[in-house]
Amino acid sequence: MFLTPLRRLRRILKDAAKPISGGKEMTMNKPIQFLGTSLILSLALLGCKSKMESTGDAYLKAGDPGNAMAQYENAMQQGAVSADFYSNYTDAHIALLQVGLESDPAAETLDPLKDSLLSLLKQHPDAAKEAAASAVLLEIGSKRLDMGTEEGGFQFLNAAAALPGKSADIDAKVDAAKKAYQTGKLKEISDKLDESATDGTAGIAADYAMNQLALVLGSETPEMAALWSKIREKNLPTYLFYAAPGLLDKAADARINKYGMMIAIVKYVAPPAPVLIGIKVWNNTSGPIDIDGSNFKLVDRQGNAYEAGTRLQALKKKATVELGKESEQGGLIFKLPKDAQPDYLELTVDDGRTSRKYLP
């Protein structure tokens, strides 16, 4: 029977410990025992690279990261891998992302590949590999922004900027890409708002686009504040019905189109005088709602909430608003501290459902 070097050494060591004639067992002296153990460990380390892992290395060296990844995945499923496996496995991820950058930067398969790469670099940090990864992540993110896949683009840009070993110029390039994108989007939205003079739904479309921009950027930025204030002023008396037929090119994002109760502000007197808000509510939920002045709160930009000191007209007492119907007009007067700036009016009905109307 053919014996590998490791099995042959084990056989030799086993035979060396067999009893000799007379039944007395011979024991190896410590130097020989130590040498044998060391040889076993050395051979184990040298021999643990599987055929699949070696094939993966060959594919990677030949510039075929796709097949290299397939072999590496199989090698991991088999269990033991060599000491340099994760280094090569990481290189395969980076190379495969580079292939994706050149062929189809918007491909959905790049997203789990990115996540897997980030996990590898977290578990096996390597500054040189992080620098290489940051460069390809930046390029994919920038390409995706140009192609209109904004959220995916920003995910790649943020991933590049978050790597500890990123290239020295990554932060500046990520910031430049984000600013260029934001500037271009704000120009588009401003042009859309200008159409509201002749298109009654343009203000709603502009507000939806601003919400999309805030989601992509992670929050409302200072550069967005002035334009969004104009949009909100334009939309005060408007129900923000984002799902209106023909308004959007595709279904409204549920993170934006989340309010079934829509508020229209038909009159607004801003500070420093007591805040007067004239209100109507459209019920687009799943059934009737009951509202009066106690269901509303005014929230300022510091997050402080205020109840109305005076309730007017239809908001003096509870009234039922049927599904698909509009409430009667009511009014609320709020007294705020001197420096408080109103942010939004919030409606909360008895079952806990809420809605908001942001103020300019």
Q: Pinpoint the alpha helices (H) of 170-296.
A: 170-194, 202-217, 222-234
- DSSP assignment of 281-326, as one string? EEE-SSS-EEE-GGGEEEEETTS-EE--SEEEEGGGS-EEE-TT-B
What is the per-residue pLDDT for 80?
84
43 phi and psi angles, rounded to 5 deg:
-65, -35
- C-alpha 213, offset from chain centre: 14
Please list the ranges in the chain whose pLDDT falls under 70.
Answer: 1-48
Based on the number of CB atoms within 10 Å of its own CB, is 131 exposed (0-12), middle (13-18) or buried (19 or more)? middle
CATH architecture of 51-168: Alpha Horseshoe (1.25)
What is the per-residue pLDDT for 42?
39
Domain boundaries, the chain: 5-47, 51-168, 182-258, 261-358
What is the per-residue pLDDT for 48?
61
CA gyration radius, the chain: 33
Query: Domain 261-358: what homologous superfamily?
Result: Immunoglobulins (2.60.40.10)
pTM recorded for the entire structure: 0.74
The count of other CB atoms within 10 Å of the CB of residue 188 is 13
